[in-house]
Amino acid sequence: MRLFPHLRPLAFARPRHRECDAIRPVARSQRRGVLRQRGVRVTATDDGPSLENPDAPRPAEWRLPRLRVDVDGDWYDDDVAITHAGILANLRSILRRDDQGYFIQTRARIPVEVEDVPFVVTRIERRGETLHAFLGDGTEADVDPATLRVGSDDVPYCAVKDGAFEARLSRAAAFQLLGLADYDESTGRGALRLGGREYILRRSA
């Protein structure tokens, strides 16, 4: 039985050809690949106006994205959440920081507003004599306990990404850290003992 008995192949069907409009570059990737749009002739550059595309904006007129990282480590562009895993991984991998603040460097320097710190530790555990952290971006790494500090509202922080950034411990990770520490009632401070050393969990100035 045929699934679609009312359909019959066309006996003399031939492919039809038509002229297509030229396409132009409208975006360029880091590998110099080009996204194209139909409408005008292809140009050799997207650096500004050209004979083929006189209305193209100059680099000085480009509107930079408004990137922001909230206290939970989530990224936004113009208050729209960025959820694509590949885009998030790329943004986090090229994030930098200098005296002027956080930024990503592409063909232009794009500032990134960070509400607190750009990464969040979602889980922390002891592995032998080391401290191991799981981050919200899906990565994990050992933590240098000497970088632990307690900020305002008793929120712990630690260095991550080979010391390039700080990460905020989530509420769950903070409780896990406290569970690994010894609490001294006389001083009201916790101490983490690893590798024969003692690390005091003290509030930073």
> Do the domains at 67-114 and 119-201 have one common CATH topology?
no
The band of 53, judged by pLDDT with boundaries at 50, 70 and 90, is low
* Residue 135 amino acid letter: L
Could you confirm whether domain 67-114 is CATH 3.30.750.24?
Answer: no
C-alpha to C-alpha distances, 144 to 103, 108, 132, 149, nearest whole angstrom: 25, 34, 9, 11
- Mean confidence (pLDDT) of the chain: 80
What number does CATH give the domain 119-201? 2.30.270
Query: 76-123, pLDDT tens digit by residue?
Result: 999 999 999 999 999 999 999 999 999 999 888 999 999 999 999 999
pLDDT (0 to 100) of residue 48: 57
**Residue pair 24/42 in contact by the 8 Å Cβ criterion:** yes
175 or 23: which carries more pLDDT confidence? 175
Q: What is the pLDDT of residues 153-178, one digit of tens each?
A: 889 999 999 999 999 999 999 999 99
User: How many beta carbons lie within 10 A of that of residue 194, not counting itself?
Assistant: 16
Contact 174, 158 (CB under 8 A): no
Domain boundary assignment for the chain? 67-114, 119-201
> Which of the four pLDDT bands, split at 50, 70 and 90, describes residue 64?
confident
Closest CA to 166 of 135, 132, 190, 127: 135
